[in-house]
Structure 1
Amino acid sequence: MDILYTAEALATGDGRNGHVATRDGQLDTDVRVPKEMGGAGGALNPELLFAAGYAACFHSALLAVARQQKTPVHDTSVGARVGIGSNGEGGFGLAVELEVVIPDLPHEQAQALADAAHQVCPYSNATRGNIDVTVTVTDD
């Protein structure tokens, strides 16, 4: 693989109750275990960061596919939900739900664009076969 860009981050402190920062200083924040998992909450957590990254990356892939297919789209959005839970084998696993909105496009055409984006998105390629990812196209 020809690497185009490398992001670098460092986690310090007590894991999920610590601090994360990127080398370039763009991200520098505390992280906390969410209340739903018995923590204090009130700060970012790895699942929030993953959801934000996946949503942005998938949205970029969606727009790239639309441009490549010469399909005009506007006011699109991608929402990501990242769930964490026991994998039944003593560890934890993730599940992702992506909600894709492409207004004013027939549902079948919008679904085809979302499916194509799922094939080229780096997050989708990294997670394929490792975690459950559901892609749903909605009208709003």
Structure 2
Amino acid sequence: MEWSHSEANADIVFIYADDSNYGQNERLYGNRHLRAEDASLSVFQVWHLLSHGTIPAHGSCMFISRYSFPRHQLKANTAADRFPLERGTVFEAEHRVHSLFDPMNNVLVFDETVTEQELGQPKLIVVAGSRLSVETLTAVRQSG
């Protein structure tokens, strides 16, 4: 049976503008001098809320402050001639590492150009970020 994302009916829809801010608030779109606007930080607060607190409220990737990028510790503690590791490695429990999967309740994420038809009939719509198209704002208002 084939299906696509357009057939999904989410309980929660999260709409935000993709401005390439992943939590360090700098180097947007690869530009070393471009800094994030404060409005772009709201996306992380929403992810924190939707993940029941498992995603930090200050960023969403392994490079954010207070989280360690596992490769750095692995390279510091393992001689290069031991790679590739046949059985991986174990990190200490207190050493926080960004997870790959986090709990969510039937969430679909759209960018700031989502249409009314694409939204479906969610129970909750959350909008965050630095911009929103007029068409999307109209769709959000009409869905309630």
Shorter-normalised TM-score: what interval? under 0.3
Could you tell me the TM-score, scaled by structure 2's length? 0.26
Q: Structure with the greater relative contact order (CA < 8 A, sep ≥ 6): 1 or 2?
A: 2
Give the structure with higher Rg (CA).
Answer: 2
